[in-house]
Amino acid sequence: MCEKCKGNFYITTPIYYPSSKLHIGHTYCTVATDAMARYKRLQGYNVMFLTGTDEHGQKIEDKARESGVTPQEFVDNIVMGERGVLDLWKLMNISNDRFIRTTDDYHVESIQKIFKMMYDNGDIYKGTYKGKYCKPCESFWTESQLVDGKCPDCGREVQDAEEEAYFFRLSKYADRVQDLLENTDFLEPRSRVNEMVNNFIKPGLEDLCVSRTSFTWGVPVDFDPGHVVYVWIDALFNYMTALGYQNDRHNELSQFWPADVHFVGKEIVRFHSIIWPAMLMSLNLPLPKKVFGHGWLLLDGGKMSKSKGNVVDPYILAERFGVDALRFFLLRSFPFGSDGNFSNEVLISTINTDLANDLGNLVSRTIAMAQKYFGEHLPAQQAENPEMDAELLAMVSDLRGKYEEQMEHFAFQNALAEIFKVISRANKYIDENAPWVLAKSEENKPRLAKVLYNLLETIRICAGLLKPFMPDTADEIGRRLGNPRMDWDSLGIFGVLPAEAAPVAGPVLFPRIDMEKELKELEELTKPQKTEPELPLAEAKPDIAFDEFEKVDMTVVKVLTCEKVKKSEKLLKFTLDDGTGEPRTILSGIAKYYQPEQLVGKTLVAVTNLAPRKMMGQLSCGMLLSAERGDQLHLLMLDDAIPAGSRLV
C-alpha cells in the first residue's frame, strides 16, 4: 500500500451475461459502482474496481446455435463488437481497473482447481440429479421451472428423469450462513436479510447441483469428462480469480481480498449471500465484507427485459442527453436500495431542474458576473457580511461531512440531495445579495467581490463532490474556476480558492430540453422495430414408429401442366412427371397461394402411394408436400437438377 493511501478498497459489479446487448438497467449498477469507486479514490483509497462478463451456460450455447456461430464467436461479438459491453463502459466513462471474462484461460483453469479442491475436501460429491426431462429439447428441468407441468421451452410433455451430477454440500453451511446474515452487516439493505432467511434458509437449504451434462459450453470438470461446472460457481469465483486466486495471471489477492463490497441486483442476492459465503467457508477463505442488493429500474412498473421488448437503450440516451447527465439522473432519481420507475419524463425533468436550472445557472451566472464586474480576476480587497453570509457558509462547510455520511451507506440519492440543497441555497444567495445592485456603486465593490468569491468557492466544493457522479462536468467546472484544488481535503475547507480568483466563461453546461419535442423524438427513435407477427405453431402429432414412417413414398416430381379446377376456388390440377413415364394427376388446394403458370416446370415433392381420391369429380393420385404455418403456405421446391422419380429417403 502506498504511503499516502488511506487503504485498499475492492468493489465489484455483477459480471454480465452477454446473451444480448446491455440495457439501462445493467448500466445503472455499473454507474453506481463507478461512482463509489471514484468517491473512494477521491478520499484517497487505493481502489480496485472489477467488472466483466459471465459467458458460459446453456442460454449462450442456444443463442449461438440460433445465430449460426460458435458460442465463443457469439460472446466475443457482444463483449467486444461494435456497441458491445466494452464500448458501452467506455462511453459511460466507467473507470474499472480490471475486466474479467469467464472464458479467459486463467479463470477457466482456476475454476477447475477450485472445483477439485471442494471435491477433495468432501464438500462436492457425486450424486443423482432427479428432475424432469424434455426429450426433444434434451433439457433437464426442476418441477418449479415447468410451465403448466410442461417444458418451458417447447411446451411439450416432460418425463421423470435422473442424471448423474455433482452436488455442493450447501446444507452443511446453513447455520453459519444464517448467523452471518442475521448477526452481522454482511448483507444490506437489512430488508433483504429477512427475505433470504425466511424464504431460503428456514425452509431448509438443500445441497446444490453444481455440474451439468446436458450442454457443453462451460468449464469442463477436468476429472470427469462430460460434466461442466454450474455457471454460478464459475461466475461467483470471478471476484477472486480476477485477483489471482488459483492462477498466476494476477497477484493482488492479499492486497484486495476480502472485497469491501459486492454491488448486486436484488434477484441475485441469494447467490451472493447464501451460496457464495458457503463456498468460501468450504475453502476456509475470508468472506467479503459486504453484499449490497440494489433495486431494479422498472419500466411501467415491470422489469426491463429483452424478451418483453421493453428495454431502454443507454446509447440513445447518452448520445441525446450526454453521458454525465445520464449518469447523474440514474443516481439522483432513485434510492439505490429500492426499485425505481424509469421514464423519459423523469429523465428530462431531472436534467432541466437540477442541471440546467440549478447547477448550470449558478455556474454561468456567477462567472458571467465576475467577469462583467471585475474583468480578469476578483480584487483581493473583499468585504464580509457575516449576517448575509453565515447560512451559506455554514452549509458549504458542513457539506463534505454530510455527503460522506450518505456515500458511506451507498445512499447516492441522498448524497446528491445534500449537494443540491447547497446549490439552491447559493442561487438564493445571489438573489438576496443582488450583485447587480451592489455593482452600481464603487463603494460596494469589496462586498460585491466577496459575494462572488463565496459563490465561486461554493461551486468549487460542489463540483468536487459531484466528480464521482459527473467526472467530465466537474473537470470542466474546475477549468472554468482556473483549476483550483479539488482534492478531498480541500473539499472540506471553505476558502481554498485564491481570493483573486480568475474564472473563465464557457458554453452552457446543460442546455434546457424542450420536454414535449424531445419526448416525441424519443418515442420515434425507440419505437419497437416492426417484427413479423408470431405465427401459431400447429400441434405436434403423436410419435410413430420408424417402420410406419417408412411406408410413405415421397417422390420428386416435375410440373408438366397446372390449371385451375373449374368451379373450385381452392383447387389446382397438376399433371406431373414422376419418373415412371406415365403422367400423374394430383389436385391440391393451394389456388389461393399460387398462380398456375408460376408452377410449370418446378421440381416438387409428392406422396405417391396415397390411395387415390376423387375431388370435384376428378381423381387425385397423391399429395404435394408443402410447409404451412399460420396463414402462410409454401410448396416444397427442390433443386431442378434432381431428376423426376428420385425418392426421398
Which residues contribute to the site for ligand MSP (CB under 6 A)? Answer: 14-17, 25-26, 28-29, 54, 235-236, 238, 264-265, 267-268, 296-297, 303-304
Nearer to ligand MSP, 32 or 181 (CB): 32
User: Shortest gap between Cβ of 302 and ligand MSP (angstroms)?
Assistant: 9
Distance of alpha carbon 518 from its chain centroid, rounded? 25
Nearer to ligand MSP, 85 or 635 (CB): 85
Angle at 19 between CA 15 and CA 23, to 5 degrees: 70
User: Shortest gap between Cβ of 235 and ligand MSP (angstroms)?
Assistant: 4
Nearer to ligand MSP, 219 or 462 (CB): 219
User: Shortest gap between Cβ of 340 and ligand MSP (angstroms)?
Assistant: 8
Nearer to ligand MSP, 214 or 310 (CB): 310
User: Shortest gap between Cβ of 292 and ligand MSP (angstroms)?
Assistant: 11
Distance of alpha carbon 202 from its chain centroid, rounded? 31
- Distance, CA of 621 to CA of 625 (rounded, Å): 13
Q: Which of 407, 419, 425, 427 is nearest to 365 (CA)?
A: 427
Nearer to ligand MSP, 265 or 435 (CB): 265
> CA 54 → CA 84, 122, 268, 273, 274, distances in Å?
14, 27, 13, 18, 19
642: helix, strand or coil: coil
User: Shortest gap between Cβ of 570 and ligand MSP (angstroms)?
Assistant: 50
User: Shortest gap between Cβ of 335 and ligand MSP (angstroms)?
Assistant: 13
- Distance, CA of 192 to CA of 337 (rounded, Å): 10
User: Shortest gap between Cβ of 26 and ligand MSP (angstroms)?
Assistant: 5
User: Shortest gap between Cβ of 53 and ligand MSP (angstroms)?
Assistant: 8
Nearer to ligand MSP, 36 or 367 (CB): 36
Nearer to ligand MSP, 24 or 459 (CB): 24
Angle at 603 between CA 601 and CA 605, to 5 degrees: 140
Residue 199, amino acid: N
User: Shortest gap between Cβ of 312 and ligand MSP (angstroms)?
Assistant: 9
- Identify whether the C-beta of residue 505 lies closer than 8 Å to the C-beta of residue 479: no
- Identify whether the C-beta of residue 52 lies closer than 8 Å to the C-beta of residue 102: yes
Sign of dihedral through CA atoms 403, 406, 408, 410? negative
Residues contacting 36, CB < 8 A, separation 6+ = 11, 261, 263, 407, 410, 468
Residues contacting 137, CB < 8 A, separation 6+ = 151, 153, 154, 156
Alpha-carbon torsion, ordered 338, 417, 92, 292, to 10 deg: -30
The set of cell numbers assigned to 404 is: 460522506
Long-range contacts of 532-535 (CB under 8 A, 24+ apart): 535/629, 535/630, 535/632
User: Shortest gap between Cβ of 409 and ligand MSP (angstroms)?
Assistant: 19
User: Shortest gap between Cβ of 219 and ligand MSP (angstroms)?
Assistant: 14
Nearer to ligand MSP, 17 or 45 (CB): 17
The set of cell numbers assigned to 250 is: 494476477
User: Shortest gap between Cβ of 236 and ligand MSP (angstroms)?
Assistant: 5
For 16, which DSSP code?
Answer: B
Nearer to ligand MSP, 26 or 40 (CB): 26
Nearer to ligand MSP, 14 or 464 (CB): 14
- Distance, CA of 458 to CA of 421 (rounded, Å): 12
Residue 293, amino acid: G
Nearer to ligand MSP, 279 or 369 (CB): 279
Nearer to ligand MSP, 70 or 338 (CB): 338
Task: Look up cell 456515500; give the residue.
Answer: 407
Nearer to ligand MSP, 55 or 358 (CB): 55
The set of cell numbers assigned to 607 is: 406422396
User: Shortest gap between Cβ of 173 and ligand MSP (angstroms)?
Assistant: 18
Residue 379, amino acid: P
User: Shortest gap between Cβ of 248 and ligand MSP (angstroms)?
Assistant: 22
In this structure, the chain runs to a length of: 649
Nearer to ligand MSP, 268 or 615 (CB): 268
Q: By beta-carbon distance, which residue lies closest to ligand MSP?
A: 265
Burial track 111-137 (b if 16+ CB lie within 10 A, e otherwise) = bbebbeebbeeebbeeeebebbbbeeb
Element (H, E) at 13: none
Element (H, E) at 243: none
Angle at 488 between CA 485 and CA 494, to 5 degrees: 65
Q: Which of 25, 15, 29 is nearest to 101 (CA)?
A: 15
